[in-house]
């Protein structure tokens, strides 16, 4: 049944889509299809119909974008503006995002298949908050002073680094783009954004909003095209100083090799296989809610998804029974329907990849307790829909428990002791997030630092204050972004040593 809200979103999509059917790069402040005649098509995951065509940046387009960003950094106003002025412009971007929130959400939902409610409420508003937050932070960048007796004053200043390549993935593209663009511009850098090719639409709205807010030409550029071509060209380019990358671990490793010759500064936000530990003494109702939302929201295509659920044996059977009931009830449907909880996967290739893991898990001996089939509703037949899947009795060494599936699949593993839970939780190559459910404070305090993860949530779902560092350990990434940690990456620290008097200088070349 079509609700009023769904009808509103669908009508809005019909109005907005024609305007973005032909996407364009942004180079030096101008929307352009560039020099190449090559294009690629973005598909609606709910129908697999084409929704937009994007140009593929040629090597000449990459060169023009990099040179525009370089000029804007070396000679342009952006890095030279007072921080308060940059902040004013960034706040205008935040306002622009809020003013067009419905439009952004509808395009993003249509491009990615992620349910509109999860995009509209969480992702788009968070994207606006990113600009407000980093506007504020930009005015608070400070240095440190190191007085040395009365002879020296040593102090530090933070300067923008230069030209940044910002390479983003297809899951929640708009929010993740702002997560990079906002701190990058706030610190006074210039950038070239390279969005993922499976979800290119919302980046064009971001580009429009950035321009309307008054970011000068060249400070923000946007290039479309395959990562192996355009992303690598940016990472290899000698005039690019920084690469902030979010994506798969294997891509990140490759990118670092490409950037090594020109010694790029990298921020790497990579894959995950995050554990959720549920002890018998936990608030099990809340733990159940969080475990389900943590892996099946955003269609399971979520870097911090709690995709391994470790449950204490004494409650295992009842907890699994409750999980099965709930997972069976999850509403799969049109992403523009506000009642939908899980939408179609981003692409047929991603669907096939996830189905491959479903087959593998069964070959490995795990029990597929519920889900994993294509929905029977004929209205969903053309889309990349999959019912959320629950594997139980999973062994920690199985590939489904080790590898990132990046889809709506939860693996449940029993444990008997705290030591065993910790061993299983840490027994993967990733270390992005971990979630811990227990009412024993001592246990929580003991386990939280011992879990090998960049971020640990205790009795909490994945909520995060923007001041806190975000990032992973092990093969989930290098570096942290968020709060001032973003400026560790997007600024250069310079130490200045000033003599306050006439300290002794050893004299050379003055003879005996
Ligand atoms: P991906 O395949 O690694 O692609 C990410 C971006 O890199 C895309 O823009 C892609 O362009 C580009 N790319 C691909 N190959 C490249 C190459 N050789 N050189 C330079 N750039 C290249 O990742 P994805 O499949 O889009 O995203 C899913 C992954 O992102 C998952 O592993 C997920 O965990 C991770 N992720 C991590 C975080 C985090 O914060 N840690 C957040 C979100 C997602 P094309 O699209 O044109 O291929």
Cα–ligand 1 centroid distance for 246 (angstroms): 6
Q: Is 270 in the pocket of ligand 1 (CB under 6 A)?
A: yes
Whole-number Å distance between alpha carbons of 323 and 321 = 5
Distance 200 CA to ligand 1 centre (A): 13
Residue with the smallest CA separation from ligand 1 atom 43 is: 303
Query: Is the predicted pLDDT of residue 10 greater than 60, yes or no?
Result: yes
Q: Which residues pair with 329 in a beta bridge?
A: none
| Tokens describing residue 163 | 């030209």
Residue-level pLDDT at 115 = 98
pLDDT-based confidence at residue 512 (cuts at 50, 70, 90): confident
Helix (H), strand (E) counts: the chain = 17, 22
Would the CB of 268 count as within 6 Å of ligand 1? no
Mean pLDDT of 215-223: 98
Smallest CA-to-CA distance from 109 within 2, 186, 13 is with 13
Query: Is 303 part of the annotated catalytic residue set?
Result: yes
Position 3 pLDDT exceeds 90 = no
In short, whether 168's Cβ falls inside 6 Å of ligand 1 is yes
282-302 pLDDT, tens digit each: 999 999 999 999 999 999 999
Average pLDDT over residues 132-158: 95
Residue ID of nearest Cα to ligand 1 atom 12: 227
Cβ distance 387 to 376 under 8 Å? Answer: no
- CA 346 to mean position of chain CA atoms: 15
78 CA → ligand 1 middle, Å: 29
C-alpha torsion 93→99→103→106, nearest 10: 90
274 CB within 6 A, ligand 1: no
Our answer on whether the CB atom of 432 is closer than 6 Å to any ligand 1 atom is: yes
Tokens representing 360 are: 């593998």
Angle, vertex CA 171, rays to CA 480 and CA 162, nearest 5? 45
Question: How would residue 2 be classed by pLDDT, with cut points 50, 70 and 90?
Answer: low
Interatomic CA distance for residues 205 and 214, integer angstroms: 15
Q: pLDDT tens digits, residue range 179-203? A: 999 999 999 999 999 999 999 999 9
**Confidence band, pLDDT 50/70/90 cuts, at residue 153:** very high
Q: Which atom of ligand 1 is nearest to the CA of 303?
A: 34
Mean pLDDT in the chain? Answer: 97
In the reported structure, the alpha carbon of residue 288 is separated from the centroid of ligand 1 by a whole-number distance in angstroms of 30
Cα gap 186→160, rounded to integer Å:
9
Known catalytic residue at 191: no
Beta bridge partner(s), residue 414: 311
The pLDDT, as a whole number, for residue 479 is 96
Catalytic residue among 269, 312, 404, 452: 269
pLDDT in tens, 231-248: 999 999 999 999 999 999
Centre of ligand 1 from the C-alpha of residue 91, in Å: 28
Of ligand 1's atoms, which has the minimum distance to the CA of residue 197? 46
Which one of the listed residues 108, 177, 191, 303 is annotated catalytic? Answer: 303
For ligand 1, atom 7: residue with the closest CA: 227
Q: Which ligand 1 atom minimizes the distance to the CA of 250? A: 3
Length of the chain equals 512
Task: Write out the DSSP string of 74-130.
Answer: HTSSGGGS-HHHHHHHHHHHHHHHHHTHHHHHHHHHHHH---HHIIIIIIIHHHHHH
Nearest C-alpha neighbor of 410 from the set 368, 448, 374, 469: 368
User: Quick one: average pLDDT of 249-273?
Assistant: 98
pLDDT score for 121: 82
User: What pLDDT digit, counting tens, does each position of 403-450 carry?
Assistant: 999 999 999 999 999 999 999 999 999 999 999 999 999 999 999 999
- Give the model confidence (pLDDT) of 57-95 as tens digits: 999 999 999 999 999 999 999 999 999 999 999 999 999
Which tens digit of pLDDT belongs to each residue from 47-66?
Answer: 999 999 999 999 999 999 99
Per-residue model confidence (pLDDT) at position 401: 98
**CA 391 – CA 372 distance, rounded (Å):** 9
* Ligand 1, atom nearest to 234 Cα: 20
**pLDDT of 328-370, one tens digit each?**
999 999 999 999 999 999 999 999 999 999 999 999 999 999 9
- pLDDT tens column, 459-508: 999 999 999 999 999 999 999 999 999 999 999 999 999 999 998 999 99
For the cut 90, the answer to whether the pLDDT of residue 252 exceeds it is: yes
Alpha carbons 358 and 369: distance in angstroms, whole number = 11
Could you give the 3-state DSSP secondary structure of residue 7? helix
- What's the token pair of residue 363? 């070959």
Q: Side-chain half-sphere of 390: how many Cα atoms within 13 Å?
A: 21
Instruction: Provide the pLDDT for residue 150.
Output: 84
Q: What's the CA gap between 495 and 490, in Å, rounded? A: 17
Q: Which of 485, 322, 487, 346 is nearest to 407 (CA)?
A: 346
Pocket of ligand 1 contains residue 14 by CB under 6 Å: no
**Structure tokens given for 286:** 């809340």
Residue among 41, 45, 169 whose CB has most ligand 1 atoms within 8 A, to mutate: 169
In angstroms, the CA 309 to CA 163 distance is: 41
Residue nearest to atom 34 of ligand 1 (CA): 271
pTM: 0.97
Report the distance separating Cα 183 and Cα 199, nearest Å: 22
On the question of pLDDT at 1 being above 60, the answer is: no
The whole-number average pLDDT for the span 201-207 is 97
Tell me: pLDDT of 388 over 80: yes
Helix axes 101-112, 83-99, angle to 10 degrees: 70
User: How far is 23 from 72, CA to CA, in rounded Å?
Assistant: 24
Q: Which residues pair with 25 in a beta bridge?
A: 32
Helix (H, G, I), strand (E, B) or coil at 59: helix
């Amino acid at each position: 049944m079509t609700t009023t809200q769904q009808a509103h979103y669908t009508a809005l999509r019909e109005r907005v889509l024609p305007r973005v059917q032909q996407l364009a790069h942004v180079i030096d402040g101008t929307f352009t299809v560039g020099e190449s005649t090559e294009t690629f098509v973005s598909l609606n995951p709910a129908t697999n119909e084409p929704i937009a065509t994007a140009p593929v940046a040629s090597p000449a387009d990459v060169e023009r974008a990099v040179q525009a960003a370089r000029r804007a950094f070396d000679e342009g106003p952006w890095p030279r503006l007072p921080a308060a002025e940059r902040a004013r412009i960034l706040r205008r971007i935040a306002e622009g995002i809020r003013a067009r929130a419905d439009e952004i959400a509808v395009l993003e939902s249509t491009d990615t298949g992620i349910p509109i409610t999860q995009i509209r409420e969480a992702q788009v508003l968070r994207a606006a908050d990113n600009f407000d937050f980093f506007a504020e932070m930009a005015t608070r960048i400070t240095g440190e002073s190191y007085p040395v007796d009365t002879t020296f004053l040593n102090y530090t200043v933070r300067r923008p680094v230069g030209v940044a390549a910002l390479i983003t993935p297809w899951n929640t593209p708009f929010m993740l783009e702002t997560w990079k663009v906002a701190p990058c511009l706030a610190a006074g850098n210039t950038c070239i954004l390279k969005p993922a090719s499976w979800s290119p639409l919302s980046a064009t709205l971001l580009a429009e909003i950035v321009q309307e807010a008054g970011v000068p030409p060249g400070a923000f550029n946007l290039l479309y095209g395959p990562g192996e071509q355009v992303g690598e060209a940016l990472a290899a380019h000698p005039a690019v100083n920084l690469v902030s990358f979010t994506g798969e671990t294997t891509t990140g490793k490759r990118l670092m090799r490409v950037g090594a010759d020109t010694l790029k500064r990298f921020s790497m936000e990579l894959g995950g296989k995050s554990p959720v530990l549920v002890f018998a003494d936990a608030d099990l109702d809340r733990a159940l809610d969080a475990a389900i939302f943590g892996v099946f929201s955003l269609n399971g295509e979520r870097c911090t998804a709690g995709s391994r659920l470790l449950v204490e044996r004494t409650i295992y059977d009842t907890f699994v029974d409750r999980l099965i009931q709930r997972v069976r009830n999850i509403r799969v449907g049109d992403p523009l329907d506000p009642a939908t909880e899980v939408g179609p996967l981003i692409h047929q290739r991603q669907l096939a990849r996830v189905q491959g893991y479903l087959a593998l898990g069964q070959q490995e001996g795990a029990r597929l307790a519920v889900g994993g089939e294509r929905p029977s509703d004929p209205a969903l037949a053309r889309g990349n829909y999959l019912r959320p899947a629950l594997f139980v009795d999973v062994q920690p060494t199985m590939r489904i428990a080790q590898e990132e599936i990046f889809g709506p699949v939860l693996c449940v593993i029993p444990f008997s002791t705290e030591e065993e839970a910790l061993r299983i939780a840490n027994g993967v190559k990733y270390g992005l997030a971990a979630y811990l459910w227990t009412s024993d404070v001592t246990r929580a305090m003991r386990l939280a630092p011992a879990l090998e993860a960049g971020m640990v949530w205790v009795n909490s779902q994945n909520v995060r204050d923007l001041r806190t560092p975000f990032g992973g350990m092990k093969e989930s990434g290098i570096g942290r972004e968020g709060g001032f940690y973003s400026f560790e990456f997007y600024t250069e620290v310079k130490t200045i040593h000033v003599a306050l008097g006439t300290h002794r200088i050893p004299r050379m070349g003055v003879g005996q």
